[in-house]
Structure 1
Amino acid sequence: MGKKLFIVESPTKVKTLQKILSSKDFIFKATFGHIKDLPPKTLGVDLNTFHPSFYYISSKKKILSDLKKLVSKVEEVYLATDPDREGEAISFHLYEYLSSVNKNLIFKRVDLIEITEFGVKQALNSVRDLDKGLYLAYQSRRVLDRIIGYLISPKLSKALNLPLSAGRVQSPALRLIVEREEEIEKFVPETSFSLRVKVKDKNNNVYELDLWFKKELYKDKDPKKLEDFFYHYLAGKTLSLDNITEKKALKQPPYPLKTTTLIEAAGSSLGFSPKETMALAQALYEKGLITYMRTDSVRVSPVAKKAAKDFILANFGEKYLGKERRVKASKFEQGAHECIRPTNLFQEPKNLTSKEKALYTLIKNFFLASQMSQAEFLELTYVFGKDLLPKGWFLVTKRKTLVFEGFLKVLKGTENYDLPLGLKEGDQLKVLSFEIREHKTKPPERYTPHSLVKKLESLGIGRPSTYATILDVLFKRNYIEKEGKSLKPTPLGRLVCRLLLEGAKVFMDYKYTAEMEEKLDLVARGEATYESVVKEAYELIKTCRFPSRVST
C-alpha cells in the first residue's frame, strides 16, 4: 500500500498532524483556504438556470499544480478540511479537480473535531463520503449572497449616487444598530426618588437602610414627600431590628462555550473583537489545543466529561463535581459538533502568544466551570422599624453571603459578596440622618460587537461560520462607527437602512432572513433544493424598487 494524500486548509494544521501521523504513510498538503470561487467582477450566476460559474482562484495555481503531481503517486486522498459547509465546499472542489486528474483515486472525507491523537484516530475510524447536501447548502449560501449583493447594491448605489452595498446578513445587522440608535434618541428618562436612612448600633457601627413599601423599594416622583416622611416618622428615633430572614440561593454553572458565547465572553472579559476572537480560536484549534470553534452546540462528549471529572476530583475534590444537566437545543441549532473545549485539561500549552493564552484560559475555565457544582449563597434580609412606621412600610437592608463557591472557584465574576451584619433580632439602632437618592430610567444600550452577535443568534440570523465577519463590511462602507466599545450608525448608514427598508424591505426583515438560514439547513439535509431556494430569493429581488435619486 502506497502513501496517502492528506489535505487540509492551513500549514499550521499540517504541522500539528505531522506530530500525530507518520510521514511514511501520509503526504500532507495545505490549500490555504478555498481553491474555487465565483468570479470577482461579474455576477457568475446564470439567472435563468441559476447555474453558478465557479472558477479556480488564480493565486492557487501552484497549489493545484503541486496536488496534480502528487495524485499520480497516491491511491487514496483524505479530505480533512474544516467540518462545516465551508470546509465541505473546499473538499468538494478538491474532489472535482483531483478526480479529473486521476479517475482511480479513492476519496475519504475526514471530520477533525479536534486535532489530537485521539481526535485523529476517531476521525480516521469514521471516514465518510462527501456530503452533497452540505455542499449544496454552501453553494446556496454563496449564490444568495452574490445575487442579493450584486443585484440590489447597484440599485441602492444609483439612488444615492454613491458606491454602496447591501448584503443578506449585513443589512439586517445594520437595521438592528440603526433601530437601537432610534430607540435611544426617542427615549425620555423618568426620574424618581427613594429614601435612604443612616443608623448606628450601640457599638457605633453605621448602617444604611432603604425605605420599602410592602415587597419593594419605595420610589416617589416628589423628593419632598420622602423628606417629610423622614421627619414625621424617623428623625431622632430609635429603631428595632424586627426580623432577619434567610433564603438559600443557588447559582447554576454556565454551559460550555459555543461560537456566540465565546465571542461574547472574549469581548466582555478580554476586549477582543469577534474577528480577533475567531482568528485566535482558529489558531488554537489548528495547534490541537481546542475542539472545532465554529459550533452552535454545547454538547460534551462522554470522553471529555470523564476527563473533566478526573481533573476536578484531582484539583478541587468531590464536592466540586457537578451533576448531569439536560441541554435544550435552540430551534436554530444545527448541532453538528461538540462545544468548544480544551483537548487536554491536564497539559498546559506552550509557546502561545499572550492573547492565545488568554483565550485558551477562558475556554478552559468555562469548560471546567460547566462540569462543576453550583455555587451556594445565603440571602439575608434585615427588616427594621415596624413599630414606628405605618402598616406595610419598613426599612430594609440586604446582604448576600457566599456559602460554597462551587464553579466560582475557576470562574470568578465581578460580583462582590457580603459578610452578615453583626446584628440580631431585637437590637436597637439610633437614627442619624437621611439621603434622598435619585433614580433615572436608562435608555437601551447600544450594541457592542459581541452583544450584536448574541442578538443575531437569538433571531436565527447568521451561523457560526459568518458571525466574525458580519461587521467588516459595515465598517468598510462607513455605515457604522465605534464610539467607545459600542456600535453607532453613521448618517450614511441610517440613510442606507431607510432606503433598504423602503426598496428591499423583505431582505431587511428579521424573520425572512432567519427563514432563509433555515432553508439553507433544509438544503443540507436534502429537504429543499438549491434551485428552489435561490429562485425564490431572485423573484423577490425583482420586486425591489428604489427611488431614482435621493439627496444626501
Structure 2
Amino acid sequence: MAEKNSTKALVVVESPAKAKTINKYLGSNFEVKASVGHIRDLPSKGLNVDIENNFEPTYDIMPGKKRTLNSLKSAAKKCDTLYLATDLDREGEAIAWHISEMLKFDPEKTYRVVFNAITKKSIQDAFSEPGKLNMNKVMAQQARRILDRIVGYQISPLLWKKVSKGLSAGRVQSVAVKMVVEREREIRAFNPKPYWLIPAVFTTDLNLDCSEIWKQFLGDDEKNRPTVSDQNKWLSEHDAFRAELKEINGQKFVPEDKDLAFTAYEILKGADFKVSDYKTKQTQSRPAPPFITSSLQQTAANKLGFATKRTMRLAQNLYEGIELGAMGSVGLITYMRSDSTYISPEAFNAARTFIGKEFGDEYVPEKPNFFTSAKNAQQAHEAIRPTDPALSPEFVKPHLTAEQYKLYDLIWRRFVACQMSNAKWNITTIDIKAQNSGKTGLYRSAGRQLVFDGFTKVWHTSSNEQRIPELETDQQLRPVDISLDEKWTKPPARYTEGSLVKALENQGIGRPSTYASIISTIQDRNYVEQRERKFHATDLGEVVTDKLSEFFPQIMDMDFTRLMEQKLDNIEDQHSNWVGVLNDFYGPFKENLDNALEQMKHAKAETQPSDYKCPECGAELVYRFGRNGRFLSCSTYPECKFAAPVDKDGKILEEKPSGIKCPNCGKNMIEKNGRYGKFLGCEDYPQCKTIMRIGKDGNPVPPKAPPEPTGIKCYKCAKGELVIRDSKRGKFLGCNKFPRCRTIVKLDHLEKLKELQAAGKWPPENEEKAKEILKANADAAKKEE
C-alpha cells in the first residue's frame, strides 16, 4: 500500500444520501464514500456455487460497479483506518464483508460501526466504540443467498421445459404464490349459505313515531346509504340505538335456522319492549406498540394505500436523511428494517418530555409503556420511530414530498401515541326484553363513549361508536325499526398488500426485510396480479404452484419453510454450521429434482374436462394451458383445431365485432382478450395480424408509427441498431432488439454518434467506454449552452 496520511479515515456506507447526512457529523479527518449497495455478488449467469465443495460460492464484481470499487480503493490508499458503516442487518453486514474483502485493507485497522439512527449522537457513539465484522451474520446471509440461488437456478430450467420459457422459481416467493393460489381456490369452491338476522332500532321517546323518518333517512338505495357515522348521529339526535336479537323464547337465537327466524320475527313485530338490564363500566384501551417493519407495511397499505415496495423506499429516504433548510440533511427516522419493539431509554425520555410539554402532564403515564417483541425479534434493533419527537410532521412538511410526509406523519403519530396515557371509555351494555302473548325475546345492545382521549389525541381511532342514552331498568322502549334480513355467508377475503404481509409474518415465511421484494417479485413474474388492490392468482401462478407442490413438497410446505428460516437464524444466533444446514437441505431436494425431471408432464400436454361442446365437431371441449393462460380447446385436437378464450371462472369469452375496420385490410376488427387485457384483432387472423390496443377510456388506440432507423449500432448488444422511438416524455434512441436489449440513449447524442461511427470510433470496445463517451458529449453540450 502507498504511504498513508495517518489523520485520514475512510468511512464506507451504502447510499450517497446516507453519506451526505453522516458526513456533517464527522470531522475533516473522515472521508465518507458510498458503495451504492452491493459491489460483489454471485454472477447472474450460472449457478456459481460448487455444491461438491461445501457449497463454495464464486463471487464477482457486479456490473457497473468497477468504477465505484476503484474509487473506494483509491480512497483507501490515502487513509489509515477503514470504517464499514453499512446497515445493521444481515444484508448490511454482508455488504461490509464484501467491501473489506475487495479492498484488502489491514484487518487490524478495519472496523465495523452500526447505528440505528443517523443523528449526531448515534454517529458519535458508534464511532467512539467501533467493533469488528460479525462473521456469523455474514455466513447467515451467505447461506440464505446460496440456498435461494440453488432453488432458483435448478428449478427454473425445469419450469422452462415443463411449463413455459422464461419462468423462475424462488424458495420463499413460490410459497407466497401458493398462499394466494390456495385462497383463490377457497373462494372459487365457496358455497354461500343463507342466514337471517332480526336487527332492531329502539328509542326512548314513546310519543314520537319516527319509523318513517328513519326509513326516509336511510333511503331505498342500499349502496348509497348514509355513512355509519351519520347514522349514529341521527340515532343520537332521536335518543335511539341499535340492538341485536340474542334469544327467542328463552333459547339462543340461531341465524342459520330459517323457520326459527320467521317465527321470531312474527313474535317481535307486535311485542312490547322494556329494559331488563342496564350496566355501565369504565375500561381503558392501551396504545398500540411502535412500528416494526411488518406493521408499518400493513398500516401504510391499509391507511395510505401504499404498496410495500413504496413504503420501504420512502422509509429509506426518511432514514438516510432529508434536507431541512438551515439544519442540513437530517435522518428523520430510525432504521426501517426491524422486528423489535424495543425503545431506547433516550427515546423514552424524549417522548415523555415532548408529550408533557405539548399536551399536558395528564397525557404522560406514570411509567413508560413497554411492549413485547416477537419471539425471533433481534433485540439489538430498535422500533421504527422518529429520531426526535420535536421534529413534528408539520414542522418538516415543507421539506418533504407529499408521500414522504404521509409516511413520516404515520410513524411519528404511532410512536408519540405509544408513550401516552391510556384512553378511558364508558362501556354501556343493555338487555331489552320483548313480550308478546306469553312469548319472549331478548335483544342486546352496547355502546362506548370516550371519557379521556389519552393516546387517541394523536393516534385517532374510529368515531363510529353509537351512544346509548341514559336508561333505567323496566323503562319502556319504542321500536323504530325491526326487520328480517336475509344474508349470505361470504367467501374468505382476497389478500391485500397489508393482509398478505400479515399472513407471511404469521406463517414465518421470509423475514420483514424481504416482504416488499417477495410481493414485488410474484407480481413481476405474473404469478399473481392486483385488481382493485386485491391479489388474484393467475393461470400461470396456479399451474406453477401445482407442479412445484407435486414434485417439491418440502419447498412448498409452509412448516418446512418456517423451519428453514429458523435454521438460517440459528447460523447467526447460535453459530450453527451453515454448510451443514445446506447439506441437510440439498439431499432431499436433489432427489425431488431428479424425479421431477423424469416424471413431470408438460403443462401444455395436460387437459381438464369442461361442460362445453365443440361448436364445430360436437366433441367435448377441454381446458388447456397456453402462453396466455387457460383456454378451451377441442378434445380431438389436432383433428379439430377449435379454441376459445375463457374468463377467470372458465366461461367462454364471446368475441364481438367492434364496428371498426382494419386499417390494413379493411375487414372487421373483433374485440378479443389477451394476457394484457382487451384488444382489437382483425377477423382475418392469421392472414392479417393487425391489432389495436384499447385505452383506459375504452376507445381503441391507433397503432404507433414504426421506429425510425438511424444506422447506429447498439453499444450493449452489438447486434442491434439504435432507432428513434417516441414516448410520453418525447423522442429517444432505443435498441431495435427491445425487449431483449433495453439500451436507451438521449436523442441529443444522435449527430455525435453518427460522426463517431463514420470515423470508426463507435461502438467502442466495452460498455464502460461507451458511457464515458456519452458523458463527455453531454458535458460538452452543457458548456456550449
Task: Describe the SS at the equivalent of 1:212.
Answer: strand
- Is 1:306 matched with 2:310? no
User: Cα deviation per residue 1:324-372 (whole Å; 9 max; x = unaligned)?
Assistant: 4554332332333000000011123351111111111100111111111
Compared with structure 1, are the counterparts of its residues 425 and 521 closer, same or farther at alpha carbon in structure 2 (3 Å cutoff)?
Answer: same
- Is 1:452 matched with 2:487? no
1:117 to 108, 114, 120: 120
Alpha-carbon contact 1:173-1:456 (below 8 Å) kept: yes
Alpha-carbon contact 2:272-2:434 (below 8 Å) kept: no
Task: Describe the SS at the equivalent of 1:242.
Answer: strand
- Is 1:496 matched with 2:536? no
Task: Describe the SS at the equivalent of 1:506.
Answer: coil
Q: Point out the more displaced range, 244-253 or 147-156.
A: 244-253
Q: Which residue is equivalent to 1:83?
A: 88
Q: Which residue is equivalent to 1:542?
A: 590
1:424 to 445, 466, 472: 472
With normalisation by structure 2, the TM-score equals 0.67
Q: Which residue is equivalent to 2:165?
A: 162
> Which one has more relative contact order, counting CA pairs under 8 Å at least 6 apart?
1
Compared with structure 1, are the counterparts of its residues 539 and 229 closer, same or farther at alpha carbon in structure 2 (3 Å cutoff)?
Answer: closer
Alpha-carbon contact 2:195-2:257 (below 8 Å) kept: yes
CA root-mean-square deviation = 2.2
Alpha-carbon contact 2:241-2:467 (below 8 Å) kept: no
C-alpha deviation, 1:194, in angstroms = 2.1
C-alpha deviation, 1:224, in angstroms = 6.2
> Residues of 2 paired with 1:432 and 1:275: CA distance?
49
C-alpha deviation, 1:487, in angstroms = 0.7
User: Cα deviation per residue 1:490-542 (whole Å; 9 max; x = unaligned)?
Assistant: 01100100000001111111111111111111111353122112222221221
Pairing 1:193-212 to 2, within 5 Å after superposition: 193-200=196-203, 201-204=205-208, 205=238, 207-212=241-246
Q: Which residue is equivalent to 1:262?
A: 296
Give 1 or 2 for the bigger CA radius of gyration.
Answer: 2
Q: Which amino acid aligns with 1:88?
A: E
> Residues of 1 paired with 2:315 and 2:56: CA distance?
35
Pairing 1:244-259 to 2, within 5 Å after superposition: 244-259=278-293
- Is 1:30 matched with 2:34? yes
> Residues of 2 paired with 1:216 and 1:164: CA distance?
59
> Residues of 2 paired with 1:175 and 1:226: CA distance?
40
Q: Which amino acid aligns with 1:541?
A: F
C-alpha deviation, 1:390, in angstroms = 5.9
Task: Describe the SS at the equivalent of 2:32.
Answer: strand
Alpha-carbon contact 2:197-2:485 (below 8 Å) kept: yes
Q: Which amino acid aligns with 1:89?
A: A
User: Cα deviation per residue 1:229-282 (whole Å; 9 max; x = unaligned)?
Assistant: 4444551x5433333111333222101000000000110001111101001001
> Residues of 1 paired with 2:320 and 2:557: CA distance?
37
Alpha-carbon contact 1:107-1:129 (below 8 Å) kept: yes
> Residues of 1 paired with 2:420 and 2:90: CA distance?
33
Q: Could you say which structure has the higher strand fraction? A: 2
Structure 2, gaps ≥5 residues long: 1-5, 209-237, 322-330, 605-624, 626-785
Q: Point out the more displaced range, 502-511 or 341-350.
A: 341-350
Q: Which amino acid aligns with 2:517?
A: T
> Residues of 1 paired with 2:402 and 2:124: CA distance?
31
Q: Which amino acid aligns with 2:291?
A: L
Q: Which residue is equivalent to 1:511?
A: 559
C-alpha deviation, 1:167, in angstroms = 0.6
Task: Describe the SS at the equivalent of 2:603.
Answer: coil
- Is 1:218 matched with 2:253? yes
> Residues of 2 paired with 1:93 and 1:361: CA distance?
36
Compared with structure 1, are the counterparts of its residues 432 and 112 closer, same or farther at alpha carbon in structure 2 (3 Å cutoff)?
Answer: closer
> Residues of 2 paired with 1:420 and 1:531: CA distance?
65
Task: Describe the SS at the equivalent of 1:313.
Answer: helix
User: Cα deviation per residue 1:408-456 (whole Å; 9 max; x = unaligned)?
Assistant: 1111133422333154334323446531123332221111122111111
- Is 1:12 matched with 2:41? no
Q: Point out the more displaced range, 73-82 or 426-435.
A: 426-435
2:273 to 227, 231, 239: 239
* Number of matched pairs: 548
Compared with structure 1, are the counterparts of its residues 128 and 208 closer, same or farther at alpha carbon in structure 2 (3 Å cutoff)?
Answer: closer
2:453 to 389, 405, 427: 405
> Residues of 1 paired with 2:273 and 2:550: CA distance?
64
Q: Which residue is equivalent to 1:278?
A: 312
Task: Describe the SS at the equivalent of 1:471.
Answer: helix
Q: Which residue is equivalent to 2:573?
A: 525
> Residues of 2 paired with 1:372 and 1:389: CA distance?
54
Q: Which residue is equivalent to 1:437?
A: 485
- Is 1:145 matched with 2:193? no
Q: Which residue is equivalent to 2:382?
A: 338
Q: Point out the more displaced range, 281-290 or 213-222.
A: 213-222
> Residues of 1 paired with 2:175 and 2:46: CA distance?
25
Q: Which residue is equivalent to 2:68?
A: 63
User: Cα deviation per residue 1:112-134 (whole Å; 9 max; x = unaligned)?
Assistant: 21000111012112311011111
Q: Which amino acid aligns with 2:191?
A: V
Alpha-carbon contact 1:233-1:389 (below 8 Å) kept: no
Alpha-carbon contact 1:194-1:223 (below 8 Å) kept: no
> Residues of 2 paired with 1:47 and 1:524: CA distance?
22
> Residues of 2 paired with 1:276 and 1:26: CA distance?
33
Q: Which residue is equivalent to 1:53?
A: 58
Compared with structure 1, are the counterparts of its residues 3 and 389 closer, same or farther at alpha carbon in structure 2 (3 Å cutoff)?
Answer: farther
